[in-house]
Chain A
Amino acid sequence: MVSMNIISRVNELISNAETFCLATVISSSDDRITPGSKVIIHKDGTIEGGTGHKETDKSITDIALQANTQQEKKLLEIKAGLIVFFDFISTRAKLIICGAGHIAIPLARFAQEVGFAVTVIDDRPDFASQARFPECEVVADDFITALRSISLNSSSFVVIITRGHEHDAECLEEVVLQPTAYIGLIGSRRRVSFVLEMLARNGIPKGRLADICTPIGIPIGAESPEEIALSITAELVCVRRKGIGQAKALSDAVRGMK
Chain B
Amino acid sequence: MTDKEIFEQLAQFQKQNIPVCLATIVEAAGSTPREVGAKMLICADGKTYGSIGGGCGENQVRSASLRCLLTEKKPALIEADLTDDLGTKGGDVCGGKMLIFVEPFL
Residues of A within 8 A of B (CB): 1-2, 4, 7-8, 10-11, 14-15, 24, 26-27, 35-36, 73-75, 85, 87-89, 91-92, 115
Contact = CB atoms under 8 A, between A and B. Distances in A.
A36 B75 contact: yes
B106 A26 contact: no
Contact of A7 (B10, B27, B77): B10
Given A2-B105, A75-B27, A92-B2, 4 more contacts: A4-B14, A7-B11, A24-B103, A35-B75
B46 interface: no
Contacts of A92: 2, 4
Interface residues of B, number: 23
B16 to A, nearest CB: 12
6 contacts: A2-B103, A7-B14, A36-B75, A73-B37, A85-B26, A87-B24
B84 interface: no
Interface string B2-14: 1110011011001
Interface string B46-70: 0000000000000000000000000
Interface of B is mostly: mixed
Interface of B: 2-4, 7-8, 10-11, 14, 24, 26-27, 35-37, 74-75, 77, 99, 101, 103-106
A21 B101 CA distance: 17
B14 A115 contact: no
A27 B77 contact: yes
A31 B12 CA distance: 31
Which 10 pairs show the lowest CB-CB distances between chains A and B? Answer: A73-B37, A36-B75, A85-B26, A35-B75, A36-B103, A73-B36, A75-B26, A75-B27, A14-B4, A10-B7
A85 B24 contact: yes
A74 B36 contact: yes
B105 A26 contact: no
A8 B11 contact: yes
